[in-house]
Amino acid sequence: MDVADLGLPVDVPSTALFTDHYELTMLQAALKAGTADRRSVFEVFTRRLPEGRRYGVVAGTGRVLDAVENFRFDADVLGFLRERNVVNEETLEWLAAYRFSGDVWGYPEGEVYFPGSPIMRVEGSFAECVLLETVILSILNHDSAIAAAASRMASAAGDRPLIEMGARRTHELAAVAASRAAYVGGFATTSDLAAGFRYGIPTVGTSAHAFTLLHDNERDAFQAQVDSLGRNTTLLVDTYDVTEAVRTAVEVAGPELGAVRIDSGDLLLVAHRVRQQLDELGAVNTKIVVTSDLDEYAIASLAAAPVDAYGVGTQLVTGSGHPTCSMVYKLVARAESADPKAPLVPVAKKSSGGKTSIGGRKWAARRVDGDGVAEAEVIGTGAVPAELADRQLLVELVKGGEVVAREPLDVVRDRHAVARGNLPLSATQLSRGEAVIPTEYVHLRSGS
């Protein structure tokens, strides 16, 4: 698979209304004040990781690039804004010609991040950048939360594959994005056909309890599935009695039976019993797939069980208790005038309650030890220290309004595996703790 994110096989509607009302009123006021064209720098970052998380995962970047490209105010959208009197006619005229013409830099998708990491940097006029705040945060907050949960689950699963099967537990469009993010985080397949169609993610699926209940008995159901899908199929064995179902499954499919799925009960105990029974029946190569409200902790608890694959739904698509990353989009530098040559001035909000931010256009680099293991996230303004020059994290994503960094999803998935592997071993611990490496700030000079 190498087609994901290289062009969607489905039409994407305008994303221009994936924004908040006040972004348009700010635009109108800035146009009237003559400040709309001031060169500006916005950064996406989070002040802290979700409680207990040791690292974050950047996901959704490819979707952000699609959203920026499709941020267009067509006639229907403009008509809606006019009808609701959201902005005046002068602003509507400006919006009709809107095309993002600035630059976007960011952490490569699949990379890990930490508190303060400038995950994405958007540069251009204030007017064109401020409109993108909500859609960028909506995508990155959702997808990064799912990818972080998926990454933890993948760490807990080890070499055993994970199946994403949470479509029925979330919004139908969020389900597609969640499947994509899960794949970035380390899942192998999805049950969601829309995700397979849109992003090229491998899809899997066989049958549910309803199929067994449809038939007069379990044997008839198994026989119908094997006749249709072949002996290598996966039979669901917990509708009635697991022991009897396993025996029937092997009688119907023979020792060539591909797998059995267990969706209820004490999974640790049942998995051991099923493995022993399969082996005694000669089905030594038949695999065991477990489902049933799994999260990273349940997966870790099954590490010693004879389980071959896990199916995860609810806990994955809800971020395993953390459905957002609390990322923010803040203006960190702006020019003193609309003159393209005007220097940037660092700006930052001053606030109590932990909502302060650091001004200035930032770079980021990851310092590693002699073995290549990450030991600090270093963030600064101005010149990058020579020893960190080849460890910089931000890459160019959009240049002059043109996307320059689309990637196949498999590349992103592989990048995450490498990035996670370069973290200290404690990153994969499921016990609560702080970020696995500290964030260090280097203020060499203000602005840029």
The amino acid present at 174, given as its one-letter code, is: A
Which of 69-73, 312-316, 337-341 is predicted with the least confidence, judged by mean pLDDT?
Answer: 337-341
Distance in angstroms (rounded) separating the CA atoms of residues 180 and 176: 6
pLDDT above 90 coverage of the chain, percent: 90
The H or E element that residue 262 is part of is strand 259-262
Region 310-318: what's the mean pLDDT? 97
- Cβ atoms within 10 Å of 140's Cβ, excluding its own: 26
Distance in angstroms (rounded) separating the CA atoms of residues 377 and 327: 17
Residue 164 has pLDDT above 60, yes or no: yes
> What band does 432 get if pLDDT is binned at 50, 70 and 90?
confident
Q: Which residues contact 316 (CB under 8 A, 6 or more apart)?
A: 146, 149, 150, 153, 164, 166, 178, 182, 187, 295
Q: How many CA atoms lie within 13 A of 258 on its CB side?
A: 16
pLDDT digits (tens, 9 = 90+) for 269-304: 999 999 999 999 999 999 999 999 999 999 999 999
The reported pLDDT for the residue numbered 20 is 96
The reported pLDDT for the residue numbered 445 is 47
Distance in angstroms (rounded) separating the CA atoms of residues 342 and 374: 38
Distance in angstroms (rounded) separating the CA atoms of residues 424 and 380: 23
Burial class (CB in 10 A: 0-12, 13-18, 19+), 432: exposed
Tokens encoding 208: 């549910």
Distance in angstroms (rounded) separating the CA atoms of residues 320 and 77: 36
Distance in angstroms (rounded) separating the CA atoms of residues 211 and 196: 23
Region 67-87: what's the mean pLDDT? 96
Sign of CA dihedral 369, 372, 377, 383: positive
The reported pLDDT for the residue numbered 57 is 98
Residue 11 has pLDDT above 80, yes or no: no
> What band does 200 get if pLDDT is binned at 50, 70 and 90?
very high
Distance in angstroms (rounded) separating the CA atoms of residues 130 and 82: 20
Q: Is 46 helix (H, G, I), strand (E, B) or coil?
A: strand
Distance in angstroms (rounded) separating the CA atoms of residues 330 and 77: 26
Residue 10 has pLDDT above 90, yes or no: no
- Cβ atoms within 10 Å of 51's Cβ, excluding its own: 8
Region 69-93: what's the mean pLDDT? 96
> What band does 4 get if pLDDT is binned at 50, 70 and 90?
very low
Distance in angstroms (rounded) separating the CA atoms of residues 51 and 321: 10
Axis crossing angle, helix 242-253 with helix 218-229, rounded to the nearest 10:
40
pLDDT digits (tens, 9 = 90+) for 204-263: 999 999 999 999 999 999 999 999 999 999 999 999 999 999 999 999 999 999 999 999
The reported pLDDT for the residue numbered 83 is 97
Global confidence as pTM: 0.93
The reported pLDDT for the residue numbered 9 is 43
Is-contact 23 131, C-beta < 8 A?
yes
Region 185-204: what's the mean pLDDT? 97
Q: Is 40 helix (H, G, I), strand (E, B) or coil?
A: strand
Per DSSP, 392 falls in state B
Is-contact 289 237, C-beta < 8 A?
no
Tokens encoding 19: 């924004």
Tokens encoding 186: 């380390």
- Chain-wide mean pLDDT for the chain? 94
The reported pLDDT for the residue numbered 352 is 65
The reported pLDDT for the residue numbered 3 is 44
Q: Is 107 helix (H, G, I), strand (E, B) or coil?
A: coil
Is-contact 20 302, C-beta < 8 A?
no
- Cβ atoms within 10 Å of 348's Cβ, excluding its own: 14
Distance in angstroms (rounded) separating the CA atoms of residues 15 and 173: 14
Region 124-153: what's the mean pLDDT? 98
Region 45-51: what's the mean pLDDT? 94
Q: Which residue, among 110, 164, 109, has the nearest Cα to 311 in the 3D structure?
A: 164
Per DSSP, 290 falls in state E
Residue 447 has pLDDT above 80, yes or no: no
Sign of CA dihedral 112, 115, 121, 122: positive
The reported pLDDT for the residue numbered 2 is 45
The reported pLDDT for the residue numbered 359 is 92
User: Phi-psi bin for 13: left (phi > 0), alpha (psi -120 to 50), beta?
Assistant: beta
> What band does 14 get if pLDDT is binned at 50, 70 and 90?
confident
Q: Which residues contact 268 (CB under 8 A, 6 or more apart)?
A: 301, 302, 305
How distant, in Å, are the alpha carbons of 39, 106, 199 from that of 178?
Answer: 34, 21, 12
E-assigned strand segments in 293-387: 309-312, 327-335, 344-346, 362-368, 374-381
